Structure 1
């Protein structure tokens, strides 16, 4: 540095966010006041996620904010909202900038690709201001950007999350029971146009349905408390079956039947996509044989398998750790297209 010169402020930031493997439970639930709320519990998945890099342009009007790839409109909205929030907190005028996104999450399959983009974008903007926004603030910005958000801004603990309001309805426990998940994609892996799915007003949901969702919530709470993979699988299957009222996957009956024959504890399906999983208890005898039988059965029914992975106890990051900030990992841009593309998504080994 030239003697007497002052260091230029850091105007760039990076952020990351994970994906998930669809939902374990989704429906309409009651909050602490008895008010109805749409809510969900996602199945966490380590691996691919979204990375974002943001460069601020002080002096540029806030509207001069660009995003690469250009079709990531939800992430662009999130970045603009995050700029306004961070500028307010730091006493600076809002400005434009450039947001770049990379990631390997297949879009349109219900794995939270848009939420991951949005949350990574918010974190990158905050990082460019030298801030780390708390999860509640990130959730609020994410919901404003995309109307509903998955709980990918949280630590990974199983929570019932009000996706349209960006708030936690219940922390179910420290971790889900360990599971082995044989991932697959229904409908040949064709993306689901989530914007075309009916969005029911929670006020119109029948009271008997709300009671059924609350029973599933109580059972899932017990499954988490006791580490009962069998009970968790039963909840996930019941929730997936209810989801078929809207999704109507033609392979659903075949999937549940082959899961029973393979000795799985149940199935889970993304309620806004085509990704699905056959769930196994890792402590079950003959697990390798069961998983191999499941893979053969999926192939026989023309249901493409994607990836087999495990999930279970996770350790929350310590306050000194900053796992979602710092230099963005290099990734691969997802194919250009709308937020929910119409063409079939290529299925990598996730």
Structure 2
């Protein structure tokens, strides 16, 4: 038993999200420099786990873990994160995973990604952020579907339209997908699989754009079609938070004159949306 530490990356929305064969899935878009970091100080003499800045979901996940291993619930949990909440960037999922890892580190628990998934899914629908690489993930049941490996080299110019989306409430809303939408989900999934297999960025960006178009019927983003045109001009794709407020243009990391391209793209985006909150990854 010692002071335990754990961390977890965030995401920029999802590469693809939808339903195939009545199973909800998402394909993760991990962003390593978005991060939640947790520290756990055990206190076996205390009866409760405390936090200076309470994060209810992370606390609940920590208690579930400790109950599973029949551990005393006492201790202090502290979480620091640079992931904005309510934006569709996996802030709460990252907090949950970081907290579980910190407690597991403190007690040297033999925790697995599958165990983390199971606990996280008991708290809320969860992103697959316990996996470092890109995966297809059943976010309702917390189950890995398929791993794809790392993304080819990329740049992302992202922006936020403001406001927040409550992911839990959003996931309780029945999505009225048409038969054509289900066919697009299958197409996008296969494009991802092929794109990662061939390390072909163009196939991946096509998949993200297909998924974003379907989501535009569910949670529309302002200026979507103007930005889709910009993405096409730069041989990139649109990526969105399917249950959040952010959207971005995904660019091939091997483009010539990258700095010039990103600068020009950012300027054009600013011409469409006055004073957008731009983020580069």
The residue that corresponds to 2:127 in the other structure is 150
User: Pick from 216, 229, 245: which aligns with 1:274?
Assistant: 245
Tell me if structure 1 keeps the 8 A contact 2:221–2:247. no
- Closer, same or farther: CA 60–288 of 1 in aligned 2, 3 Å: closer
Tell me if structure 1 keeps the 8 A contact 2:86–2:166. yes
User: Within 1, Cα distance between the matches of 2:8 and 2:150?
Assistant: 19
Q: Which has the higher contact order (CA 8 A, sep 6+)?
A: 1
User: Within 1, Cα distance between the matches of 2:250 and 2:133?
Assistant: 19
The residue that corresponds to 1:119 in the other structure is 97
Instruction: Give the Å deviation of 1:194.
Output: 2.7
Instruction: Give the Å deviation of 1:248.
Output: 1.5
User: Within 1, Cα distance between the matches of 2:84 and 2:173?
Assistant: 26
User: Within 2, Cα distance between the matches of 1:305 and 1:289?
Assistant: 19
Instruction: Give the Å deviation of 1:308.
Output: 1.9
Q: What is the correspondence of 1:267-306 to structure 2 with a 5 Å cutoff?
A: 267-302=238-273, 304-306=276-278
Instruction: Give the Å deviation of 1:288.
Output: 3.0
User: Within 1, Cα distance between the matches of 2:32 and 2:38?
Assistant: 18
Listed as ranges, the gaps of 5+ residues in structure 1 are 1-9, 31-35, 88-92, 310-350
Instruction: Give the Å deviation of 1:197.
Output: 2.5
User: Within 2, Cα distance between the matches of 1:251 and 1:221?
Assistant: 29
What is the TM-score when the length of structure 1 is the normalising length?
0.75
Q: CA RMSD in A?
A: 2.0
Q: What is the correspondence of 1:126-275 to structure 2 with a 5 Å cutoff?
A: 126-145=104-123, 147-154=124-131, 156-172=132-148, 174-185=149-160, 187=161, 189-197=162-170, 199-200=172-173, 206-261=178-233, 263-275=234-246
- Closer, same or farther: CA 44–273 of 1 in aligned 2, 3 Å: same
> Secondary structure at the residue paired with 2:208?
helix
Instruction: Give the Å deviation of 1:199.
Output: 3.2
The answer to whether 1:68 aligns with 2:49 is no
User: Within 1, Cα distance between the matches of 2:3 and 2:94?
Assistant: 19
Tell me if structure 2 keeps the 8 A contact 1:197–1:246. no
User: Pick from 59, 68, 84: which aligns with 1:85?
Assistant: 68
Instruction: Give the Å deviation of 1:231.
Output: 1.3
- Closer, same or farther: CA 175–45 of 1 in aligned 2, 3 Å: same
> Secondary structure at the residue paired with 1:234?
helix
Tell me if structure 1 keeps the 8 A contact 2:125–2:168. no
- Closer, same or farther: CA 11–37 of 1 in aligned 2, 3 Å: same
Instruction: Give the Å deviation of 1:132.
Output: 4.0
Instruction: Give the Å deviation of 1:195.
Output: 4.0
The answer to whether 1:24 aligns with 2:27 is no
Per-residue deviation, residues 46-80 of structure 1 (Å, max 9, x unmatched): 2131111112222433xx2222312x110110111
Instruction: Give the Å deviation of 1:198.
Output: 5.4
> Secondary structure at the residue paired with 1:197?
helix
Instruction: Give the Å deviation of 1:280.
Output: 1.3
Tell me if structure 2 keeps the 8 A contact 1:28–1:213. yes
The answer to whether 1:14 aligns with 2:44 is no
Tell me if structure 1 keeps the 8 A contact 2:152–2:253. no
